Amino acid sequence: MEKIKNNPKVSVIIPTIGRESLIRTLESVLNQTYQNLEIIITDDTEEGKAKPLIERYLTDPRIKYVINTKYKHGPDGNKNNGLDNITGEYFTFVDDDDIIMPNAIEELLNVAIKGNYSIVFANCVDNIEGEFTGLHYGKDEEVCWLDWLCSRYEREYFFLIKTSILENDRFYDECWGGEGILMLKLFKKAQVSFYLHKALAKIYKVYIGSQDRVSLQYAKQAKRTYLKYVLFLQEFGNDMISHCPKTFIRHSLIGIYYSALVEEYKQAFKWCMDSVKAYPKLFFIPILWTLFCMILPKSFVIKFYENYSKRIRKLLLKMLIGGRSK
């Protein structure tokens, strides 16, 4: 591979809760073919559970260990703690139970510099089935921010982002799973990014019954997940209604579910009516779903959603957006 010009520093943020898999993650970062790195391990536990695990690595001057004491505990707050400590020209995130391929950073950095892109990203594979985790079209391509807004690209990828476009923006730490809000803001700033069609990271998932770790955490954090949809649709709802109303409906339906869980029925009704206005031909979908979530016993609605959330999301993708590659 051609040598990278100017050798810019890349900040790699590893948010952790002190899981033993952190060692595997850290090793994958240390073994990168591109070595001008700053590795920030941000610990979301008050007792500093991660430090004993990585003590022997702290002699490496590239590694910085910080505990999250500034932001609310959770994925978003812990990532903010990492962002506050970066000094690199580019940055990326690697969760503490995932790994990146040896050439991951070098490949993305080459594309970013040659094409003058502020954001470049590649796909990942999951450890269960070995399939791509992000939607794709089977080729390298430029991606505009409307592709992200309208869910042409979504799910999990490995990103490299130019630090200068971040400015003072941060994740909403009061939310649970609200990473997409900041990412969409950054894509809007960048306008055009680049997708590299290869797997440069491996995502490790732990399944309990029919649910993965993320879905279960969302259910436990219903209030903070509800807030995510409030903020997300406040920020991007009008853009979606203008450019891709079916995508607006899909996000609203999930928001309606969490509204019902936390008994914010007025908001659920508003999203229902906004969805009907956005795409009148599908008026029956938001109305029936809202009635289902608001009238039936909450315990039944939760059980139904937990058991069938993946099928529901796939069905909504097919009905409201159309088929896509996995």
Q: Which of 175, 203, 231 is the last residue of a domain?
A: 203
User: Quick one: pLDDT at residue 269?
Assistant: 97
User: Residues 58, 82: one domain?
Assistant: yes
Across 222-227, average pLDDT: 92
Rounded to 5°, angle at Cα 184 from 144 and 81: 135
Residue 112: how many CB atoms within 10 A of its CB? Answer: 23
> Given the DSSP bridges, would you call strands 157-162 and 119-126 parallel, antiparallel or unpaired?
antiparallel
Residue with tokens 């790699």: 12
User: Residues 152, 249: one domain?
Assistant: no
User: How does residue 27 score in pLDDT terms, banded at 50, 70 and 90?
Assistant: very high
User: In the chain, pLDDT over 90 holds for what percent of residues?
Assistant: 78
Residue 294 lies in a domain: yes
User: Residues 167, 312: one domain?
Assistant: no
Residue 68 lies in a domain: yes
Q: Which of 177, 203, 229 is the last residue of a domain?
A: 203
Residue with tokens 């309990």: 208
Across 14-31, average pLDDT: 97
pTM of the entire structure? 0.88
Residue with tokens 């990532």: 79
Per-chain mean pLDDT for the chain: 90
Angle between helices 222-243 and 179-190 (to 10 degrees): 30
User: Residues 69, 189: one domain?
Assistant: yes
User: Residues 100, 160: one domain?
Assistant: yes
Residue 2 lies in a domain: no
Assess contact for 212 and 205: CB atoms under 8 A.
yes
User: Residues 39, 165: one domain?
Assistant: yes
**Chain segment 247-287, per-residue pLDDT in tens:** 999 999 999 999 999 999 999 999 999 999 999 999 999 99
User: Residues 184, 243: one domain?
Assistant: no
SS3 99: strand
User: Residues 50, 191: one domain?
Assistant: yes
User: Quick one: pLDDT at residue 178?
Assistant: 83
Residue 208 lies in a domain: no
CATH code for the domain of 15:
3.90.550.10
Q: Which of 170, 203, 236 is the last residue of a domain?
A: 203
Q: How many domains does the chain have?
A: 2
Residue 217 lies in a domain: yes
User: Quick one: pLDDT at residue 188?
Assistant: 96
Containing structural domain, residue 125: 10-203
Across 116-141, average pLDDT: 94
User: Quick one: pLDDT at residue 325?
Assistant: 45
Residue 326 lies in a domain: no
User: Residues 54, 167: one domain?
Assistant: yes
Residue 306 lies in a domain: yes
- Rounded to whole angstroms, the maximal C-alpha distance in the chain is 62
User: Quick one: pLDDT at residue 56?
Assistant: 96
User: Residues 151, 118: one domain?
Assistant: yes
Assess contact for 68 and 78: CB atoms under 8 A.
yes
User: Quick one: pLDDT at residue 209?
Assistant: 46
Residue 59: how many CB atoms within 10 A of its CB? Answer: 7
User: Residues 46, 121: one domain?
Assistant: yes
Residue 1 lies in a domain: no
* Per-residue pLDDT at 167 exceeds 70: yes
User: How does residue 322 score in pLDDT terms, banded at 50, 70 and 90?
Assistant: low
User: Residues 197, 288: one domain?
Assistant: no
